[in-house]
Protein backbone atom coordinates (compact mmCIF):
# COMPACT_ATOMS: atom_id res chain seq x y z
CA UNK A 1 0.00 0.00 0.00
CA UNK A 2 1.37 3.44 -0.93
CA UNK A 3 -0.04 5.94 1.54
CA UNK A 4 -1.84 5.79 4.87
CA UNK A 5 -4.68 8.23 4.27
CA UNK A 6 -8.18 7.17 5.30
CA UNK A 7 -8.65 5.23 2.05
CA UNK A 8 -5.30 3.45 2.43
CA UNK A 9 -5.93 2.51 6.05
CA UNK A 10 -9.48 1.36 5.33
CA UNK A 11 -8.33 -0.77 2.39
CA UNK A 12 -5.42 -2.17 4.45
CA UNK A 13 -7.82 -3.21 7.22
CA UNK A 14 -10.21 -4.87 4.77
CA UNK A 15 -7.41 -6.66 2.92
CA UNK A 16 -5.78 -7.86 6.15
CA UNK A 17 -9.17 -9.07 7.39
CA UNK A 18 -9.38 -10.98 4.09
CA UNK A 19 -6.12 -12.79 4.87
CA UNK A 20 -3.62 -10.67 2.92
CA UNK A 21 -0.18 -9.82 4.20
CA UNK A 22 -0.29 -6.00 4.05
CA UNK A 23 2.49 -3.42 4.39
CA UNK A 24 1.57 0.28 4.28
CA UNK A 25 4.29 2.77 3.31
CA UNK A 26 3.55 6.34 4.38
CA UNK A 27 6.00 9.12 3.54
CA UNK A 28 4.86 11.31 6.42
CA UNK A 29 5.82 10.59 10.03
CA UNK A 30 2.11 10.25 10.87
CA UNK A 31 -0.69 8.29 9.25
CA UNK A 32 -4.03 9.87 8.31
CA UNK A 33 -3.15 12.04 5.30
CA UNK A 34 -5.58 14.95 4.92
CA UNK A 35 -7.33 13.88 8.12
CA UNK A 36 -4.64 15.81 9.97
CA UNK A 37 -4.30 17.43 13.35
CA UNK A 38 -2.32 20.36 14.69
CA UNK A 39 -1.66 20.72 18.40
CA UNK A 40 -0.58 24.10 19.75
CA UNK A 41 0.72 24.33 23.32
CA UNK A 42 0.38 27.75 24.96
CA UNK A 43 0.81 29.07 28.51
CA UNK A 44 -3.00 28.86 28.99
CA UNK A 45 -3.18 25.24 27.82
CA UNK A 46 -3.31 23.08 24.72
CA UNK A 47 -5.31 23.81 21.56
CA UNK A 48 -6.08 20.93 19.21
CA UNK A 49 -7.28 21.51 15.63
CA UNK A 50 -8.48 19.17 12.94
CA UNK A 51 -6.65 20.54 9.88
CA UNK A 52 -8.75 18.59 7.36
CA UNK A 53 -12.26 17.18 7.76
CA UNK A 54 -14.48 18.78 10.39
CA UNK A 55 -17.77 17.11 9.48
CA UNK A 56 -18.50 13.39 9.25
CA UNK A 57 -21.39 12.33 7.02
CA UNK A 58 -22.92 8.96 6.07
CA UNK A 59 -21.50 7.28 9.21
CA UNK A 60 -22.97 3.95 8.07
CA UNK A 61 -20.01 3.38 5.77
CA UNK A 62 -17.68 3.66 8.77
CA UNK A 63 -19.97 1.39 10.78
CA UNK A 64 -19.71 -1.20 7.97
CA UNK A 65 -15.93 -0.88 7.84
CA UNK A 66 -15.42 -1.37 11.57
CA UNK A 67 -18.03 -4.14 11.74
CA UNK A 68 -16.49 -6.03 8.82
CA UNK A 69 -12.96 -5.84 10.25
CA UNK A 70 -13.54 -6.47 13.99
CA UNK A 71 -15.17 -4.59 16.89
CA UNK A 72 -17.99 -2.18 15.99
CA UNK A 73 -17.68 1.56 15.41
CA UNK A 74 -19.33 2.54 18.70
CA UNK A 75 -16.68 0.65 20.65
CA UNK A 76 -13.86 2.70 19.13
CA UNK A 77 -15.29 6.17 18.37
CA UNK A 78 -17.75 8.49 20.06
CA UNK A 79 -19.90 10.06 17.34
CA UNK A 80 -21.86 13.17 18.27
CA UNK A 81 -24.88 14.15 16.11
CA UNK A 82 -25.00 17.85 15.26
CA UNK A 83 -28.04 20.15 15.22
CA UNK A 84 -27.54 22.38 13.44
CA UNK A 85 -25.34 20.49 11.04
CA UNK A 86 -24.39 23.97 9.88
CA UNK A 87 -25.64 27.49 10.53
CA UNK A 88 -25.84 29.46 7.27
CA UNK A 89 -25.55 33.25 7.24
CA UNK A 90 -26.62 34.86 3.97
CA UNK A 91 -25.41 38.23 2.69
CA UNK A 92 -28.70 39.92 3.66
CA UNK A 93 -28.23 38.79 7.27
CA UNK A 94 -30.76 35.92 7.15
CA UNK A 95 -29.78 32.83 9.13
CA UNK A 96 -30.75 29.21 8.56
CA UNK A 97 -29.92 26.32 10.88
CA UNK A 98 -29.84 23.16 8.73
CA UNK A 99 -30.78 19.97 10.54
CA UNK A 100 -31.39 16.30 9.73
CA UNK A 101 -35.12 16.44 10.51
CA UNK A 102 -36.53 17.16 7.05
CA UNK A 103 -39.91 18.55 8.13
CA UNK A 104 -38.20 20.77 10.66
CA UNK A 105 -35.70 22.09 8.12
CA UNK A 106 -38.57 22.97 5.77
CA UNK A 107 -40.28 24.83 8.64
CA UNK A 108 -37.02 26.67 9.36
CA UNK A 109 -36.75 27.61 5.67
CA UNK A 110 -40.28 28.98 5.67
CA UNK A 111 -39.51 31.00 8.79
CA UNK A 112 -36.18 32.30 7.46
CA UNK A 113 -37.08 32.99 3.81
CA UNK A 114 -40.87 33.06 3.66
CA UNK A 115 -42.71 32.41 0.39
CA UNK A 116 -42.62 28.84 -0.82
CA UNK A 117 -39.12 28.08 0.50
CA UNK A 118 -40.00 24.96 2.52
CA UNK A 119 -42.23 23.51 -0.20
CA UNK A 120 -39.62 24.20 -2.90
CA UNK A 121 -36.91 22.52 -0.84
CA UNK A 122 -39.21 19.57 -0.24
CA UNK A 123 -39.70 19.04 -3.98
CA UNK A 124 -35.96 19.25 -4.56
CA UNK A 125 -35.44 16.86 -1.65
CA UNK A 126 -37.70 14.26 -3.23
CA UNK A 127 -35.71 14.48 -6.45
CA UNK A 128 -32.43 14.32 -4.52
CA UNK A 129 -33.62 11.20 -2.73
CA UNK A 130 -34.35 9.55 -6.08
CA UNK A 131 -30.88 10.53 -7.32
CA UNK A 132 -29.28 9.04 -4.20
CA UNK A 133 -31.25 5.82 -4.57
CA UNK A 134 -30.41 5.54 -8.27
CA UNK A 135 -26.69 6.19 -7.89
CA UNK A 136 -25.68 4.70 -4.54
CA UNK A 137 -25.51 1.05 -5.64
CA UNK A 138 -24.49 1.26 -9.30
CA UNK A 139 -22.05 4.14 -8.94
CA UNK A 140 -20.90 4.87 -5.38
CA UNK A 141 -20.59 1.24 -4.31
CA UNK A 142 -19.40 -0.29 -7.61
CA UNK A 143 -16.16 -0.18 -9.55
CA UNK A 144 -16.27 1.99 -12.64
CA UNK A 145 -13.54 1.74 -15.23
CA UNK A 146 -13.88 4.16 -18.09
CA UNK A 147 -16.64 5.42 -20.31
CA UNK A 148 -17.93 2.09 -21.68
CA UNK A 149 -18.32 0.59 -18.20
CA UNK A 150 -19.98 3.73 -16.92
CA UNK A 151 -22.44 3.74 -19.80
CA UNK A 152 -23.20 0.06 -19.21
CA UNK A 153 -23.88 0.85 -15.57
CA UNK A 154 -25.95 3.87 -16.52
CA UNK A 155 -28.22 1.55 -18.50
CA UNK A 156 -28.83 -0.38 -15.31
CA UNK A 157 -29.85 2.82 -13.61
CA UNK A 158 -33.60 2.71 -13.90
CA UNK A 159 -34.15 6.39 -14.10
CA UNK A 160 -31.61 8.22 -16.24
CA UNK A 161 -34.01 11.15 -16.39
CA UNK A 162 -33.72 11.45 -12.61
CA UNK A 163 -29.96 11.79 -12.74
CA UNK A 164 -30.07 13.97 -15.87
CA UNK A 165 -26.32 13.78 -16.57
CA UNK A 166 -26.68 16.61 -19.09
CA UNK A 167 -27.85 19.10 -16.45
CA UNK A 168 -25.71 21.06 -14.01
CA UNK A 169 -26.32 21.48 -10.30
CA UNK A 170 -27.12 25.13 -10.97
CA UNK A 171 -29.74 24.16 -13.60
CA UNK A 172 -31.35 21.81 -11.13
CA UNK A 173 -31.45 24.43 -8.38
CA UNK A 174 -32.99 26.98 -10.72
CA UNK A 175 -35.75 24.61 -11.75
CA UNK A 176 -36.79 23.77 -8.17
CA UNK A 177 -35.81 26.68 -5.94
CA UNK A 178 -37.17 30.17 -6.33
CA UNK A 179 -35.26 31.78 -3.48
CA UNK A 180 -31.68 32.73 -4.43
CA UNK A 181 -30.52 31.88 -0.91
CA UNK A 182 -31.75 28.32 -1.24
CA UNK A 183 -29.99 28.07 -4.60
CA UNK A 184 -26.77 29.21 -2.92
CA UNK A 185 -27.23 26.58 -0.26
CA UNK A 186 -27.66 23.83 -2.86
CA UNK A 187 -24.75 25.08 -4.97
CA UNK A 188 -22.37 24.99 -2.02
CA UNK A 189 -22.49 21.20 -2.17
CA UNK A 190 -20.57 21.26 -5.48
CA UNK A 191 -17.58 22.29 -3.39
CA UNK A 192 -17.80 18.98 -1.47
CA UNK A 193 -16.35 17.46 -4.63
CA UNK A 194 -14.03 20.40 -5.26
CA UNK A 195 -16.18 21.68 -8.13
CA UNK A 196 -17.96 24.68 -9.64
CA UNK A 197 -21.79 24.40 -9.35
CA UNK A 198 -22.14 25.97 -12.80
CA UNK A 199 -20.34 22.98 -14.34
CA UNK A 200 -20.87 20.17 -11.82
CA UNK A 201 -23.61 17.63 -12.54
CA UNK A 202 -27.13 17.81 -11.12
CA UNK A 203 -26.49 14.39 -9.58
CA UNK A 204 -24.56 16.18 -6.82
CA UNK A 205 -27.95 16.98 -5.27
CA UNK A 206 -27.38 13.58 -3.67
CA UNK A 207 -24.73 15.23 -1.46
CA UNK A 208 -27.08 17.45 0.61
CA UNK A 209 -29.52 14.55 0.62
CA UNK A 210 -26.93 12.25 2.20
CA UNK A 211 -25.76 14.93 4.62
CA UNK A 212 -29.21 15.81 5.90
CA UNK A 213 -30.83 12.37 5.66
CA UNK A 214 -28.05 10.57 7.57
CA UNK A 215 -26.96 13.55 9.66
CA UNK A 216 -23.76 15.49 10.22
CA UNK A 217 -21.53 14.22 13.00
CA UNK A 218 -18.62 15.31 15.14
CA UNK A 219 -16.23 12.81 16.71
CA UNK A 220 -15.52 13.58 20.35
CA UNK A 221 -11.86 14.49 20.67
CA UNK A 222 -11.78 15.63 17.03
CA UNK A 223 -12.25 13.92 13.67
CA UNK A 224 -8.59 12.98 13.75
CA UNK A 225 -9.61 10.22 16.20
CA UNK A 226 -10.95 8.35 13.13
CA UNK A 227 -7.39 8.03 11.83
CA UNK A 228 -6.21 6.81 15.24
CA UNK A 229 -8.99 4.20 15.29
CA UNK A 230 -8.09 3.04 11.78
CA UNK A 231 -4.42 2.74 12.67
CA UNK A 232 -5.36 0.72 15.77
CA UNK A 233 -7.62 -1.54 13.70
CA UNK A 234 -4.86 -2.13 11.13
CA UNK A 235 -2.38 -2.95 13.90
CA UNK A 236 -4.81 -5.46 15.47
CA UNK A 237 -5.15 -7.14 12.08
CA UNK A 238 -1.39 -7.49 11.65
CA UNK A 239 -0.85 -4.74 9.05
CA UNK A 240 2.73 -3.44 9.01
CA UNK A 241 2.57 0.36 8.99
CA UNK A 242 5.83 2.04 7.98
CA UNK A 243 5.66 5.79 8.49
CA UNK A 244 8.51 7.99 7.23
CA UNK A 245 8.73 5.62 4.25
CA UNK A 246 8.69 7.37 0.90
CA UNK A 247 7.82 5.31 -2.18
CA UNK A 248 9.71 6.64 -5.22
CA UNK A 249 8.46 4.14 -7.79
CA UNK A 250 6.03 1.33 -8.39
CA UNK A 251 8.07 -1.43 -10.01
CA UNK A 252 6.99 -3.40 -13.05
CA UNK A 253 8.26 -6.79 -14.23
CA UNK A 254 6.87 -8.87 -17.11
CA UNK A 255 4.04 -6.40 -17.65
CA UNK A 256 2.66 -6.34 -14.08
CA UNK A 257 3.57 -4.73 -10.78
CA UNK A 258 6.30 -6.43 -8.79
CA UNK A 259 6.60 -4.14 -5.76
CA UNK A 260 7.79 -0.67 -4.84
CA UNK A 261 11.14 1.08 -4.49
CA UNK A 262 11.71 3.31 -1.48
CA UNK A 263 13.70 6.53 -1.16
CA UNK A 264 17.19 5.35 -0.28
CA UNK A 265 16.95 2.43 -2.69
CA UNK A 266 15.26 -0.31 -0.62
CA UNK A 267 12.77 -2.54 -2.46
CA UNK A 268 9.59 -4.17 -1.20
CA UNK A 269 8.35 -6.98 -3.47
CA UNK A 270 4.54 -7.35 -3.75
CA UNK A 271 2.00 -9.21 -5.90
CA UNK A 272 -0.39 -6.31 -5.65
CA UNK A 273 0.24 -2.60 -5.06
CA UNK A 274 -2.59 -0.39 -3.88
CA UNK A 275 -1.93 3.32 -4.32
CA UNK A 276 -3.63 5.65 -1.89
CA UNK A 277 -1.38 8.44 -3.15
CA UNK A 278 -2.98 11.14 -5.29
CA UNK A 279 -3.56 9.61 -8.75
CA UNK A 280 -1.75 12.49 -10.43
CA UNK A 281 1.37 11.87 -8.28
CA UNK A 282 1.05 8.13 -8.93
CA UNK A 283 0.87 8.30 -12.71
CA UNK A 284 3.26 11.26 -13.07
CA UNK A 285 5.99 10.34 -10.60
CA UNK A 286 5.71 6.72 -9.50
CA UNK A 287 4.76 4.66 -12.56
CA UNK A 288 4.19 5.70 -16.16
CA UNK A 289 0.77 4.57 -17.43
CA UNK A 290 0.37 6.98 -20.37
CA UNK A 291 -3.32 6.24 -21.11
CA UNK A 292 -4.31 6.82 -17.48
CA UNK A 293 -2.26 10.01 -17.28
CA UNK A 294 -3.72 11.38 -20.52
CA UNK A 295 -7.24 10.90 -19.19
CA UNK A 296 -6.37 12.48 -15.89
CA UNK A 297 -4.89 15.54 -17.59
CA UNK A 298 -8.11 16.15 -19.52
CA UNK A 299 -9.97 16.75 -16.25
CA UNK A 300 -10.04 20.02 -14.30
CA UNK A 301 -8.20 19.63 -11.00
CA UNK A 302 -10.33 20.17 -7.91
CA UNK A 303 -10.19 23.32 -5.85
CA UNK A 304 -7.98 23.54 -2.78
CA UNK A 305 -8.45 25.21 0.59
CA UNK A 306 -6.79 28.00 2.58
CA UNK A 307 -7.05 27.41 6.32
CA UNK A 308 -6.60 29.57 9.40
CA UNK A 309 -6.26 27.94 12.82
CA UNK A 310 -7.02 30.53 15.46
CA UNK A 311 -6.56 30.34 19.22
CA UNK A 312 -9.25 32.70 20.49
CA UNK A 313 -9.72 34.10 24.01
CA UNK A 314 -13.25 34.07 25.45
CA UNK A 315 -16.54 32.78 24.12
CA UNK A 316 -18.18 33.95 20.87
CA UNK A 317 -21.97 34.17 20.91
CA UNK A 318 -23.87 33.36 17.71
CA UNK A 319 -21.61 30.63 16.38
CA UNK A 320 -22.76 27.04 15.88
CA UNK A 321 -20.34 24.11 15.67
CA UNK A 322 -20.20 24.88 11.93
CA UNK A 323 -21.08 28.31 10.61
CA UNK A 324 -21.03 29.28 6.93
CA UNK A 325 -20.98 32.94 5.86
CA UNK A 326 -21.97 33.31 2.21
CA UNK A 327 -20.60 36.22 0.16
CA UNK A 328 -22.67 38.71 -1.83
CA UNK A 329 -21.33 37.38 -5.16
CA UNK A 330 -21.02 33.59 -5.13
CA UNK A 331 -20.11 33.38 -8.83
CA UNK A 332 -17.07 35.60 -8.27
CA UNK A 333 -15.72 32.90 -5.94
CA UNK A 334 -15.78 30.23 -8.66
CA UNK A 335 -14.50 32.68 -11.29
CA UNK A 336 -11.47 33.32 -9.08
CA UNK A 337 -10.79 29.67 -8.15
CA UNK A 338 -11.29 28.14 -11.60
CA UNK A 339 -10.46 31.17 -13.78
CA UNK A 340 -7.34 31.79 -15.83
CA UNK A 341 -5.50 33.35 -14.27
CA UNK A 342 -6.72 31.84 -11.01
CA UNK A 343 -6.53 34.11 -7.96
CA UNK A 344 -7.32 34.01 -4.25
CA UNK A 345 -10.99 34.83 -3.74
CA UNK A 346 -11.40 38.45 -2.68
CA UNK A 347 -14.66 37.87 -0.78
CA UNK A 348 -14.98 34.11 -0.24
CA UNK A 349 -17.53 31.98 1.59
CA UNK A 350 -16.17 31.62 5.12
CA UNK A 351 -16.58 28.23 6.79
CA UNK A 352 -15.96 28.10 10.53
CA UNK A 353 -15.73 25.04 12.70
CA UNK A 354 -15.61 25.78 16.42
CA UNK A 355 -16.12 22.54 18.34
CA UNK A 356 -17.71 22.74 21.76
CA UNK A 357 -15.32 20.12 23.12
CA UNK A 358 -12.92 20.51 26.06
CA UNK A 359 -10.38 18.50 24.02
CA UNK A 360 -10.23 21.35 21.47
CA UNK A 361 -9.34 24.35 23.64
CA UNK A 362 -8.54 25.26 27.25
CA UNK A 363 -11.45 26.51 29.39
CA UNK A 364 -12.46 30.06 28.47
CA UNK A 365 -10.99 29.73 24.96
CA UNK A 366 -12.04 28.58 21.49
CA UNK A 367 -10.19 26.76 18.71
CA UNK A 368 -11.36 28.19 15.38
CA UNK A 369 -10.85 26.38 12.08
CA UNK A 370 -11.56 28.78 9.22
CA UNK A 371 -11.64 27.34 5.70
CA UNK A 372 -12.13 29.10 2.37
CA UNK A 373 -12.06 27.71 -1.14
CA UNK A 374 -8.80 28.51 -2.88
CA UNK A 375 -7.10 27.88 -6.22
CA UNK A 376 -4.60 25.06 -6.16
CA UNK A 377 -0.91 25.75 -5.71
CA UNK A 378 1.37 25.87 -8.72
CA UNK A 379 2.92 28.02 -11.39
CA UNK A 380 0.43 27.62 -14.28
CA UNK A 381 -2.43 29.99 -15.19
CA UNK A 382 -5.00 27.89 -13.32
CA UNK A 383 -3.00 27.95 -10.09
CA UNK A 384 -1.54 30.40 -7.58
CA UNK A 385 1.98 30.33 -6.15
CA UNK A 386 1.06 30.15 -2.47
CA UNK A 387 4.74 30.23 -1.46
CA UNK A 388 5.09 33.81 -2.74
CA UNK A 389 6.54 35.78 0.19
CA UNK A 390 3.84 37.71 2.03
CA UNK A 391 0.91 36.29 0.06
CA UNK A 392 -0.38 33.93 2.76
CA UNK A 393 0.00 36.50 5.56
CA UNK A 394 -1.77 39.18 3.54
CA UNK A 395 -4.62 36.79 2.69
CA UNK A 396 -4.95 35.71 6.32
CA UNK A 397 -5.28 39.37 7.32
CA UNK A 398 -7.92 39.82 4.63
CA UNK A 399 -9.94 36.86 5.99
CA UNK A 400 -9.81 38.24 9.54
CA UNK A 401 -11.09 41.55 8.17
CA UNK A 402 -13.94 39.74 6.39
CA UNK A 403 -14.83 37.90 9.59
CA UNK A 404 -14.99 41.27 11.31
CA UNK A 405 -17.27 42.59 8.52
CA UNK A 406 -19.56 39.62 9.13
CA UNK A 407 -19.83 40.41 12.82
CA UNK A 408 -16.99 38.40 14.32
CA UNK A 409 -13.97 40.58 14.87
CA UNK A 410 -11.59 38.39 16.85
CA UNK A 411 -8.41 40.31 16.09
CA UNK A 412 -8.07 41.61 19.65
CA UNK A 413 -8.86 38.16 21.12
CA UNK A 414 -6.29 36.19 19.15
CA UNK A 415 -3.72 34.19 21.07
CA UNK A 416 -2.14 32.87 17.88
CA UNK A 417 -2.79 32.30 14.19
CA UNK A 418 -1.54 29.34 12.16
CA UNK A 419 -1.90 29.37 8.39
CA UNK A 420 -2.20 26.36 6.10
CA UNK A 421 -2.05 27.06 2.38
CA UNK A 422 -2.62 24.74 -0.60
CA UNK A 423 1.19 24.51 -0.82
CA UNK A 424 1.30 23.16 2.75
CA UNK A 425 -1.35 20.58 1.88
CA UNK A 426 0.66 19.50 -1.16
CA UNK A 427 3.86 19.22 0.88
CA UNK A 428 2.21 17.22 3.68
CA UNK A 429 0.06 14.82 1.66
CA UNK A 430 1.50 14.87 -1.91
CA UNK A 431 -1.88 15.97 -3.27
CA UNK A 432 -0.67 17.66 -6.45
CA UNK A 433 -1.24 21.42 -6.09
CA UNK A 434 -3.09 20.73 -2.83
CA UNK A 435 -6.16 19.85 -4.96
CA UNK A 436 -8.26 18.30 -2.19
CA UNK A 437 -10.30 15.91 -4.34
CA UNK A 438 -7.84 15.18 -7.18
CA UNK A 439 -9.98 16.01 -10.18
CA UNK A 440 -13.14 18.10 -9.89
CA UNK A 441 -16.59 17.08 -11.14
CA UNK A 442 -16.62 20.04 -13.53
CA UNK A 443 -18.22 19.08 -16.84
CA UNK A 444 -20.38 16.19 -18.00
CA UNK A 445 -17.29 14.05 -18.74
CA UNK A 446 -15.79 14.38 -15.26
CA UNK A 447 -17.10 11.05 -13.98
CA UNK A 448 -15.52 9.37 -17.04
CA UNK A 449 -12.16 10.94 -16.35
CA UNK A 450 -11.82 10.04 -12.64
CA UNK A 451 -9.23 7.26 -12.31
CA UNK A 452 -10.62 3.76 -11.90
CA UNK A 453 -9.88 1.61 -8.85
CA UNK A 454 -8.29 -1.03 -11.08
CA UNK A 455 -5.41 0.49 -13.02
CA UNK A 456 -4.73 -0.57 -16.62
CA UNK A 457 -1.41 -1.90 -15.24
CA UNK A 458 -2.05 -5.43 -13.93
CA UNK A 459 -1.63 -5.71 -10.16
CA UNK A 460 -1.98 -1.97 -9.52
CA UNK A 461 -5.09 -0.67 -7.74
CA UNK A 462 -6.13 2.80 -6.60
CA UNK A 463 -7.98 3.87 -3.49
CA UNK A 464 -8.83 7.30 -2.09
CA UNK A 465 -10.27 10.67 -2.89
CA UNK A 466 -8.54 11.15 -6.25
CA UNK A 467 -9.91 7.82 -7.57
CA UNK A 468 -13.44 6.49 -8.03
CA UNK A 469 -15.95 7.25 -6.53
CA UNK A 470 -14.38 10.49 -5.22
CA UNK A 471 -13.27 12.47 -2.19
CA UNK A 472 -14.72 13.16 1.23
CA UNK A 473 -14.52 10.66 4.07
CA UNK A 474 -17.51 8.45 3.22
CA UNK A 475 -16.63 8.12 -0.47
CA UNK A 476 -13.01 7.36 0.36
CA UNK A 477 -14.14 4.55 2.65
CA UNK A 478 -16.43 3.25 -0.10
CA UNK A 479 -13.46 3.43 -2.45
CA UNK A 480 -11.59 1.10 -0.05
CA UNK A 481 -14.50 -1.32 -0.04
CA UNK A 482 -14.61 -1.38 -3.85
CA UNK A 483 -10.85 -1.86 -4.18
CA UNK A 484 -10.71 -4.61 -1.55
CA UNK A 485 -13.54 -6.44 -3.32
CA UNK A 486 -11.75 -6.13 -6.69
CA UNK A 487 -8.64 -7.71 -5.16
CA UNK A 488 -10.66 -10.32 -3.27
CA UNK A 489 -9.60 -12.46 -0.30
CA UNK A 490 -6.12 -14.01 -0.15
Ligand X SMILES: Cc1cc2nc3c(=O)[nH]c(=O)nc-3n(C[C@H](O)[C@H](O)[C@H](O)COP(=O)(O)OP(=O)(O)OC[C@H]3O[C@@H](n4cnc5c(N)ncnc54)[C@H](O)[C@@H]3O)c2cc1C
Contacts with ligand X, residue ranges (CB under 6 A)? 2-8, 25-28, 33-35, 52-55, 246-247, 276-277, 281, 305, 307, 371, 425, 429-431, 436, 464-465, 471-473, 476
Q: Give how far the C-alpha of residue 376 lies from the chain's centroid of Cα atoms, to the nearest Å.
A: 15
Q: Which residues pair with 25 in a beta bridge?
A: 2, 242
Q: Which residue has its beta carbon closest to ligand X?
A: 5
User: Least CB distance from residue 484 to ligand X, whole Å?
Assistant: 13
User: Least CB distance from residue 313 to ligand X, whole Å?
Assistant: 24
What does the H/E/C string look like for 334-379?
Answer: HHHHHCCCCCCCCCCCEEEECCCCCCCCCCCEEEEEEEEEECCECC
For residues 125 and 189, which CB has a smaller minimum distance to ligand X in the complex?
A: 189
Half-sphere exposure of 140 (CA within 13 A, CB side): 22
For residues 44 and 419, which CB has a smaller minimum distance to ligand X in the complex?
A: 419
User: Least CB distance from residue 342 to ligand X, whole Å?
Assistant: 18
User: Least CB distance from residue 101 to ligand X, whole Å?
Assistant: 21
User: Least CB distance from residue 448 to ligand X, whole Å?
Assistant: 20
CB 451 within 8 A of CB 467: yes
Q: Which residues of 436-474 are buried (b: 16+ CB within 10 A; e: fewer)?
A: bbbbbbbbeebbbbbbbbbbebebbbbbbbbbbbbbbbb
Q: What are phi and psi of 261, to 5 degrees?
A: -110, 140
For residues 94 and 261, which CB has a smaller minimum distance to ligand X in the complex?
A: 261
DSSP letter assigned to residue 285: I
For residues 6 and 184, which CB has a smaller minimum distance to ligand X in the complex?
A: 6
Torsion sign (Cα): 338, 339, 341, 344: negative
The residues, ordered by sequence, that sit 6+ positions from 303 with a Cβ below 8 Å of its Cβ are 191, 194, 195, 337, 338, 373, 374, 375, 376, 435, 436, 437, 440
SS3 helix, strand, coil % of the chain, rounded to 5?
40, 20, 40
User: Least CB distance from residue 247 to ligand X, whole Å?
Assistant: 4
Q: What are phi and psi of 448, to 5 degrees?
A: -75, -25
CA 280 – CA 438 distance, rounded (Å): 7
User: Least CB distance from residue 53 to ligand X, whole Å?
Assistant: 3
For residues 2 and 234, which CB has a smaller minimum distance to ligand X in the complex?
A: 2
For residues 217 and 326, which CB has a smaller minimum distance to ligand X in the complex?
A: 217
For residues 164 and 477, which CB has a smaller minimum distance to ligand X in the complex?
A: 477
For residues 7 and 301, which CB has a smaller minimum distance to ligand X in the complex?
A: 7
User: Least CB distance from residue 330 to ligand X, whole Å?
Assistant: 19
Burial of 23 (0-12, 13-18, 19+ CB in 10 A): middle
DSSP 127-146: HHHHHHHHHIIIIITS---H
For residues 55 and 124, which CB has a smaller minimum distance to ligand X in the complex?
A: 55
Q: What are phi and psi of 184, to 5 degrees?
A: -60, -45
User: Least CB distance from residue 173 to ligand X, whole Å?
Assistant: 22
Amino acid sequence: MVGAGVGGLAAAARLAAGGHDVTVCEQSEVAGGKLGEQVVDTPVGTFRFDTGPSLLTVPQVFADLFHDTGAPLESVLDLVPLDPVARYRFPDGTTLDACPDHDEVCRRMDAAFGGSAGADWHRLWQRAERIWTATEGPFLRSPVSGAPALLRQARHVRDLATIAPWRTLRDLGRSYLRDPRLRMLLERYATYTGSDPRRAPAALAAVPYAELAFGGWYVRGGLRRIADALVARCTELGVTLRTGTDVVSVDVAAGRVSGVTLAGGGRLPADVVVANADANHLYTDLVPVPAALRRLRRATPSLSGFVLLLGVRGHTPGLAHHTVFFPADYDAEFDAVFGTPARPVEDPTLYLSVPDDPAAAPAGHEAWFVLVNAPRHGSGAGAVDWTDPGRADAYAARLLELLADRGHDVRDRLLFTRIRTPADLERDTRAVGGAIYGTSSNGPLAAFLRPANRSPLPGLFLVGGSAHPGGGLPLVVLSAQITASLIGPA
